[in-house]
Structure 1
Amino acid sequence: MSPAPAAVGLGSSPGDGDEVRLLGHGESFAAWLLETGEQRVVVRIAQRPVEELPRPMREEFHGLSLVPTGIGPQALVLEESADNPLGAPYMVVSFVPGRVLPPGQWTPALVRAHAQQMARLHAQRFDRCGELTTPEEERRETVDIAGQFAAGLEWWVDNHPGVMNEPDVPRLARKVGAYLQEAQKTFNRLESFALIHGDLLLPNILVEGDTTVRYIDWEWSEIGDPAQDLAYLGGRITVDPWHLPLTRAQTRDLIEVYLAASEHPAATGTVEEVMIRCDAWEVYERFLTSLHHRSLLVDRGDLTGQERDLYASAVAHVTGELGARFE
């Protein structure tokens, strides 16, 4: 059933001028563009029961209410029940213009604009970190990347034990865990935290014109380490179409531009400290995502040949790069 204004709580009835089209769909949501008159909104419809979503919908909805104007969509309507005309939980947000660029079309000027936009996003600071709807006094005092990684591994053991027993996975998991444990002392020096997108891979960055960037799909937003958003853009271990290859010099430039635009450079850390945390987040994200891709290859019999080749190539590349790094 295609959404109509009244069906998604926008207070009007379907009209002859209404247009609806599918923008795309992922594993959790399908996104529909609804145009009615001069209003354009995106209806994100859950593709699975809310209890099976990676994060509660209200986390994303609340996070969007904190995002400064011009960085992402505005939150309009949240319906967490399936008891509605669409027959599924959904969220309505304002439309964000722009296009996703492949890695080869990213210019140095665009990377700088992205760094400055992230600094705007991270301007509001918090004394504690954690989920957005958690009361501040119950949030954590530190970003525990080593603990998060250990918890992530435990989830994979409980839910996809076959993936964890595949060749190279247990050995590499131990090495990654030890590396993150060593990096943890740098995370412990963080003085404050920011609202972060939490999944700023290239497909979640929309570009308008040459250097205007905005961010979509805030499912993983939380109060956390700004370096996580910096790191997810790309680095030394990258997989097309999700990451931008960056040399060490380019990563340093990204961080320096970000810190120069930040209202809290001292609290964020020195360039060297942010580099360490970016490296840690890069390793963290690439390894855990490779487990996800392994599970898709095993569990999803409906994958196209192109999708299967993409995930298999990503797994092989990340496993090889991480293996070489920790030899």
Structure 2
Amino acid sequence: MFGRAENPELWSFLESLRQDEILSGTVAAIEPFGVFVALDDGPDHPVFPGVGFITTPELSWRRSEAVPDVVRVGLRVTCVFLQFDTWNAEARLSLRAARPDPFQAFADRTVEPTSRIIVALDFDNRRAADEVVGLLGEECRFYKVGMELLTAAGPDLIEHLVAEGKEVFLDLKLFEIPNSVAGAVRAAGALGVSMVTVHSMGGTGILAAAVAAARDFPQLRVLALTVVTSMTSSDLADIGVTGSTEEQVLRLARLAKGAGCHGVIASPQEAGPLRGVLGAGSLIVTPGVALPGESPGEHARTGTPRAAVAAGASHVVVGRTVTRAEDPAAAFRLVRAGLEL
């Protein structure tokens, strides 16, 4: 749309920027979808009011805060550079990343091992899921419901879990046109779920649509799936993606961060690099964990729960380790004990 040949000065400037670089400028225009910033050291944009752009979620840590309460036209701002949007030839920026996260200190004090463990209800019928939930009782507070169980049992199961005081991670891996994704996220929010997944390969459009749709549901967090844990670098090569799985995970995580997602889904092996890229305030949820000596199953990129959390994961997703155990509650306590060491 705004090619290098037609705008060589603009492209040269944007390509010179480095992730997390601090940039200053002036708010040039406020739109429903974000804020344009005229950067001090940047050229004019051929169409937009400024070469810098801040999506609404990147304006403030307080997601309920109205845009006019955060910025106004003519305000001087200091932002963090997130990425070069090659389609619009603009610098994606974050205002909130340049400021301390007011919720992080509280979160650090209140997160304890039980809250970090999500048990995956990977069943094809509700009776099996209800049985495991009953056996775990008060031990477990957080459950993952995927497409198989949702299709088999319907939304009633989710409403039941929420009514029982449980948190639900609805793993839909949404990958559709933005309007359809937004509708699905709103439906998830209405069910009372705490997390919903969107596929980051869908690009900024669907990620931003999901984040915008979630704003009406304060409890709902939008997580971007990066690369599923069963895939390897050779699998990525099969679909034309060059580089390692870690490189692709980090690339998509930056895209998700720029779109305002609350966090990402990735394997335990990428938890450390992701924490460095995303900072302290983002959720990093890691499926594919197994206790030492256990089979990783279909997961190609795995790790122990303890190693994942130590590397930077905010949550671990455990499945067969707990749900197929002879005593699920004892197995859950074993996972929790590993996180307490």
**Fold shared per TM-score above 0.5:** no
- Structure number with greater CO (CA < 8 Å, separation at least 6) is 1
Which structure's CA Rg is the greater one? 2
Tell me the TM-score normalised to structure 2 length: 0.23
Instruction: Flag the structure with higher helix content.
Output: 1
